[in-house]
Amino acid sequence: MSSAAAFAIDLAFTGAEERLIHCAEGTGAHLRLSREESWTSTLHLWLQHLIAAGGDSAPAQLQVCEEICLGLQFVDDAQISDLNGRWRNKPRATDVLSFSALEADMPADSSPSVELGDIIVSVPTAERQAIEQDHSLEQELCWLVSHGLLHLLGWDHPDESSLETMLQCQEQLVAMAGIVQSRCEINCESADEITAES
């Protein structure tokens, strides 16, 4: 049995195209949009925290794995609208999509690797929301990715109480990334068990 600190992150990262990056090179937002390393360390920190918290914070499979695999992609509004239409019959832009690969009732096994799924973030929508919320683009990106990650782990917000719990957890995660977070609105879409190829 591995400890929460012993797992590795296998991140399939697709950074934003240059045309979507409107921030200075070397800034936090630029690094988040273009460098896998900034997300690998942040996601490891977040997952380590959630696994250590136990309970419903993270699936049991993560307690015993050696590697956690997930995808993170930054796209434009047209691309996320296409995905939203194809998988959820909602052909409109949204800020974040989560495609979970975990089955909620899947028993823990001895596999050393666990596939979580994919998080897709619209850069133009994130930019607009950062302006609307009067905070940095880096903060918005961390907010959206943390929300997507929680969906991959089985979190949902069908009512106000569960949404409040999820938002509180996101605030903790974003603060762990070194960003002071104020309460934001979230406009996410989640899809379970996406198995067909795009």
Q: Among residues of the chain, what percentage have pLDDT more than 70? A: 84
pLDDT at 88: 93
In order, the DSSP letters of 31-72 are HHHH-HHHHHHHHHHHHHHHHHH-TTSS-GGGGS-SEEEEEE
Q: What's the rounded mean pLDDT across residues 164-170? A: 95
Global confidence as pTM: 0.87
Q: Which tops the pLDDT comparison, 117 or 60?
A: 117
Note the pLDDT tens digit of each residue in 76-93: 999 999 999 999 999 999
The angle at the Cα of 76, spanning 122 to 16, to the nearest 5 degrees, equals 85
In this predicted structure, the answer to whether residue 119 has a pLDDT above a threshold of 60 is yes
Question: For the chain, what percentages of helix, strand and coil (3-state, to nearest 5) are there?
Answer: 45, 20, 35
pLDDT at 105: 54
Judge contact between 151 and 98, C-beta under 8 A.
yes
Q: Which tops the pLDDT comparison, 65 or 187?
A: 65
Q: What's the rounded mean pLDDT across residues 62-66? A: 89
CATH topology of domain 4-192: Collagenase (Catalytic Domain) (3.40.390)
Written as six digits, the tokens of 123 are: 């850069």
| Calpha distance 168→135 (Å, rounded) | 18
How does residue 64 score in pLDDT terms, banded at 50, 70 and 90? Answer: confident
pLDDT at 4: 47
Note the pLDDT tens digit of each residue in 3-59: 445 899 999 999 999 999 999 999 999 999 999 999 999 999 999 999 999 888 998
User: What are the residue boundaries of the structural domains of the chain, listed by start?
Assistant: 4-192
pLDDT at 198: 29
How does residue 102 score in pLDDT terms, banded at 50, 70 and 90? Answer: confident
Q: Among residues of the chain, what percentage have pLDDT more than 90? A: 75
